[in-house]
Structures are given as C-alpha cells and as structure tokens.
Amino acid sequence: MNNEAKIAYFSMEIGFSNNIPTYSGGLGVLAGDTLKSAADLKIPIIAITLISKKGYFRQDIDNNGRQIEYPVDWDPSKFMSRLPKKVEVKVEGRNVYIQAWCYKVKSITGGEVDVLYLDTDLAENTKEDREITAQLYGGDDCYRLKQEVVLGIGGVRMLHALGFHIKKFHMNEGHASLLTLELLLTHKKDVESVWDEKWIWDIDTVKDLCVFTTHTPIEAGHDHFSHELAKKVIGEIVPFELLKKLGGEYQLNMTLLALNLSKYVNGVAKKHGEVSKTLFPGYEINAITNGVHSFTWTCESFKQLYNKYIAGWANEPELFVRAEIIPDEELWKAHLRAKNELFDYIKKSSGIELSQEVVTIGFARRFTSYKRADLIFSNLEQLIKISEKGKFQIVYAGKAHPKDTPGKDIIKRVIDLSKTINDKVKVVFLKDYNMEMALNLVSGVDVWLNTPLRPREASGTSGMKAAHNGVINFSILDGWWIEGHIEGITGWSIGPKPSESALINTDDMKDAEDLYNKLENVIIPMFYNDRNQWIKIMKNSISKIAYYFNSHRMMRRYVTEAYLR
Ligand SMILES: *Cc1c(COP(=O)(O)O)cnc(C)c1O
C-alpha cells in the first residue's frame, strides 16, 4: 500500500455503503462522506476504524411495535484485503494482537483513500479479546474502553508499523482520544537527568499533531470512564497523575483528553461550536459546519437532471448555485420518479400503498429521546383535523440503540399511534433503516421533517441530503438548519428562533403548535394550490443549501483551517 498519506482520520464508525455495516448513524455516515470527498479531492489522508464484524445490528419490529436486534453477518474479505502486519497493545495487562483490513475508496477523479479496519479476531488472542472488534457500540463500559484502546493506541501503532509519517491525527469524536497517549509516548523527550517528570512529556508537540472534532452538545453525551476502570484496562501507559491532569481529575473524560492535546478543535455547526465553548470554558473551539457527499446523496433521476443542466456538479457542488436553470417540469418529473421509486419500495417491503398525489412527510434517523420522533403526534385530534382539510401521509424509519429503552419506546409509540389514525393519516414505519433506504427516503418524500430538542442536534445531516434532491426541509432551528434556513425561501422552521428562548427550555407543546400551524396553513395549501411556488423552494434547496452543505466544501475547510495549521 501507498504510505504517503499525511493525515490520519480516526473514527469509531464509518459508513460507506449498506454492504459495509460498520456505522450506526450520522457520525459514521459523515466519516464516510468525509473520506469520499477526500478521495475526490486527492487529499493525502488515511482512515482508521474498527472492523465491527457483527456490524451494529439488523432491526426487526414485532407485532407489538417492539424493536428486535439481530447481529449482522458480513464478510470483510468481499470488500477489502487483510494486511500481513501485526501490532500489539496491552489490555488488562494482556497482549492483544491487531491486524488491519485495507479498504480502498476510489474516486473517478483518480484519487484514492485507504481505510484500515482494525481486527482483533486473531488466533493469538484469547477468546474474549477476539471479540473486541466485533460489535459497534456493543457491550458495557469495559468493552467500549477496550475498543478505544485498540482504535486509538492500536491505530497509531499500526500506522507507524506500516511506515507512515503522519503530520496530523484527526479524531472524529472522542472515541479515538487515547491516540494522544501513544503520541505522548513516542514523542517523549530524551533528557539525561530527569529532575522533574513533567519535562519528559512533550505536550506541545503532541498538540501540534492533533485535530479534534467534537459532535456532542451535552455533558452526558461525552464518553467517560472511571479511573478504576481506566487503570484496569489501559494500565499505566503514561503515569496516572499525568492522565488525570489531561483527562479529568475525577474520571477519564475522552473529550477533555482530546481537548487538552489538540491544537485545533471544532464543533460541527456554528451553534454547536458556541454550545461547546460553554460546556468547556477556556478552550478555543472553532466551527466547521458539516456537509454531505453530493454524488452519494443524489438519487438517480436528479443525477441525470444535474448531468444535463449542471455538468461537473459532482466534483464541484458550488455549481448548484445555478439550479435556477433547470426547467420546472423536468424538476418535477425527476421528483415524481424518485417518489415513485420510494413508494414501490414501501409497497414491496410493508405491503402499504401510498398515493403519489398526496403530500408526503419523511422522518428517519436514530431513535433517541432528543430527536422527538413523536412530536407530530402530540395532539392527534388536531392532526386529524388538519388532514381533513388537506391530505398528507408520513413515512418513518430508524433504529434505537439496543440499550436505549426510551428510544425504543418512541418507536413503539409511533407505531401504536399510527395504527389508531391510519384511516385518516397513513403512517408507515420502515424497518431496518440503512444508507440505501436513507437515499430512497430523502429523495422520495416531499417534506423532510426534523424535530430535535434544542440545542441537542449538533449538526444533523439528513436534511442536507434531502436538499440535494429538491426535498424541502421543515425543521426546528437547531444545528445546521440555523445556517441553512431562510423562512419560506429554503424551507420552513418549527418553533422559536434560537435567540428567542433560553436553550434547553424548549416547550414541546409550543413546538408542536407551530408545526401544526405551518403544516395546515402554509405547507399543505402550497403543495396542492401553488405548485410553482413549491418548485421554487425545491430549487432554492438545491441552489442555497446543497450548494454549501456538501462535504467537498467541508473538506476544503478542514484542510485550510485545521490540517495546515
Ligand atoms: C444521514 C444519515 C443519518 C443522519 O441523520 P440525521 O437526521 O442527521 O440524524 C443517520 N443514519 C443514516 C443511515 C443516514 O444515512
């Protein structure tokens, strides 16, 4: 393999496609989009992740609306090749051996990015250690910490063993923070008479090497471990006093560790950068707003449309600024093709037939409390009343983490409630949400709904995918939507402006009322009575959202603002 790469990108999960099920949601898909853009733009980057041989999980839903999880069975050898090199790390005092699978992201521009999937399923390891890289976000704290040792420490050792000379280590979220400890070890100063321990540790050099992107806007969301567990699993790779100083006095906080050892730190949207600063006062935290990979997230009919009217769009998404040039009828026809494809899929997979003529709302993402998937069901009576004035239908999909009981309850609630109103408002829940289904959904509905509890949506990316397909956003003003939204021009907001009420103090009922109000008085009437205006907003979604919220722009910013610093 080519070991010229200068930037190493570490991510616990990466989503490239359905075939490689090593992702759980937005974080992984973002990592995949990042690397696809890096390949297109020929950025010298290599990525490190875990092989997750049992994937995240396959989702089924039983007759009572309860989620059932099955391991995913996939064969890495179909997509990547095993490298001969082996490295070892210490876990609970044992040597754990690690090998890597190499996957190549190939771009039609000729660019290529290697991705190393670390694997501990080797004959040399104990039965237990062979499982460390099996299940994405599986097991308990101890299992997670072992995975993070393999990812962070094992990842750096693998890169060194393969002969890389890395100039920047980019941590996509705190899961890979332990890489900083390995860098402290390898950059230890060679001092002859050690009269003070602290002079050995070259923190400034390590900081120069590290870039950290945080993705979590609340304290509890950050990975942390008790010192006891850290001592047991990691051992004293660096003196414990030093680890406490860098990673937290009372517990090992992976975000804090990364913050203390990275020169460049960023949040994933402007608002998220600000929120992160209040969570971690005293740290300089920048913002680079997320984007999605345009080619990946554009459906077939829109690809053809763009090829005809905006040649070169895939490697230069700025050209979307010219979307106005597309004739209305052709845009609408392409949209109907995508809608038709989604409805065929829904009929095949669930037996439910939706009507092409009816305005269709889509909601799909991880099911976890703050995403408030059931907000639209806050007042069933009102929802039904709205549907009597103008018909609409809703399509849902999404998985809850196996241990997220409230998240699973929301899936059940959505399914239960939809049964009670099915003769008035058709609601479909598609099981086993994945990237392929995501593309079908973000291109095949008319309106993309997002109702997170502010300020919990660090960025969100599915709405950017929708915009790439002329699907209109209808969302709470949080994350990226604060930057993408112009009321009635690029889509519609729900609830107050970010400045209008204190963070956290969100009133569910107020948000729901605004949602109902706009659905009834703006969205449904425009869809049925003013198709020209509707198509105008579709075009604005392409020219004012897709134009900017793509991973090519995002990567150029990482290069100029983070990597070259
Ligand atoms: C894009 C994507 C997400 C992220 O969705 P958000 O609405 O940004 O949370 C999650 N899962 C899959 C499969 C995706 O493709």
Residues 431-446, mean pLDDT to the nearest whole number: 98
At 502 the pLDDT is 55
Question: Which protein residue's CA is at the shortest distance from atom 1 of ligand 1?
Answer: 462
State the sign of the Cα–Cα–Cα–Cα dihedral 186, 187, 189, 190: positive
Residue 49 near residue 118 (C-beta atoms within 8 A): yes
Residue 338 near residue 469 (C-beta atoms within 8 A): yes
Mean pLDDT, rounded, of the chain: 96
CATH of domain 300-548: 3.40.50.2000
State pLDDT tens for residues 465-476.
999 999 999 999
At 497 the pLDDT is 87
Q: Which two tokens stand for residue 193?
A: 């008479």
Please, is 464 exposed, middle or buried when counting C-beta atoms within 10 Å of its C-beta (0-12, 13-18, 19+)? buried
State pLDDT tens for residues 150-171.
999 999 999 999 999 999 999 9
Q: How many Å apart are CA 550 and CA 44, to the nearest integer?
A: 19
Instruction: With CA atoms as reference, report the closest residue to 475 among 504, 453, 502.
Output: 453
Per DSSP, the residues of 518-551 read: HIIIIIHHHHHH-HHHHHHHHHHIIIIIITTSBH
Q: From the CA of 2, how far away is ligand 1's center (Å)?
A: 32
State pLDDT tens for residues 27-78.
999 999 999 999 999 999 999 999 999 999 999 999 999 999 999 989 999 9
Residues 204-213, mean pLDDT to the nearest whole number: 98
Q: How many Å apart are CA 262 and CA 224, to the nearest integer?
A: 18
Q: From the CA of 480, how far away is ligand 1's center (Å)?
A: 13
| Any atom of ligand 1 within 6 Å of the Cβ of 434 | yes
Q: How many Å apart are CA 88 and CA 85, to the nearest integer?
A: 10
At 162 the pLDDT is 97
Q: Is the pLDDT of residue 197 over 70?
A: no
Q: From the CA of 97, how far away is ligand 1's center (Å)?
A: 33
State pLDDT tens for residues 69-118.
999 989 999 999 999 999 999 999 999 999 999 999 999 999 999 999 99
| Any atom of ligand 1 within 6 Å of the Cβ of 440 | no
Question: Which protein residue's CA is at the shortest distance from atom 8 of ligand 1?
Answer: 460
Question: Which protein residue's CA is at the shortest distance from atom 7 of ligand 1?
Answer: 462
CATH 3.40.50.2000 positions along the chain are: 5-262, 300-548
Q: How many Å apart are CA 541 and CA 555, to the nearest integer?
A: 21
State pLDDT tens for residues 366-387.
999 999 999 999 999 999 999 9
At 565 the pLDDT is 86
* Ligand 1, pocket-test mutation among 297, 298, 365, most atoms within 8 A of CB: 365
| Any atom of ligand 1 within 6 Å of the Cβ of 435 | yes
* Ligand 1, pocket-test mutation among 366, 453, 464, 551, most atoms within 8 A of CB: 366
- Residue 194's pLDDT band (boundaries 50, 70, 90)? low
Distance, C-alpha 231 to centroid of its chain:
31
- Residue 504's pLDDT band (boundaries 50, 70, 90)? low
At 561 the pLDDT is 98
Q: From the CA of 467, how far away is ligand 1's center (Å)?
A: 14
Residues 342-355, mean pLDDT to the nearest whole number: 97
CB atoms within 10 A of CB 123: 6
Architecture of domain 5-262: 3-Layer(aba) Sandwich (3.40)
Distance, C-alpha 269 to centroid of its chain:
13
Residues 242-258, mean pLDDT to the nearest whole number: 96
At 501 the pLDDT is 55
Q: Is the pLDDT of residue 195 over 70?
A: no
| Any atom of ligand 1 within 6 Å of the Cβ of 398 | no
Give me the count of residues in the chain.
Answer: 565
Residues 292-296, mean pLDDT to the nearest whole number: 98
Question: Which protein residue's CA is at the shortest distance from atom 4 of ligand 1?
Answer: 26
At 59 the pLDDT is 98
Q: From the CA of 481, how far away is ligand 1's center (Å)?
A: 14
Give the strand pairing for 392-397 and 472-476.
unpaired
At 193 the pLDDT is 57
H or E, element range at 264:
strand 264-267
Q: Is the pLDDT of residue 254 over 80?
A: yes
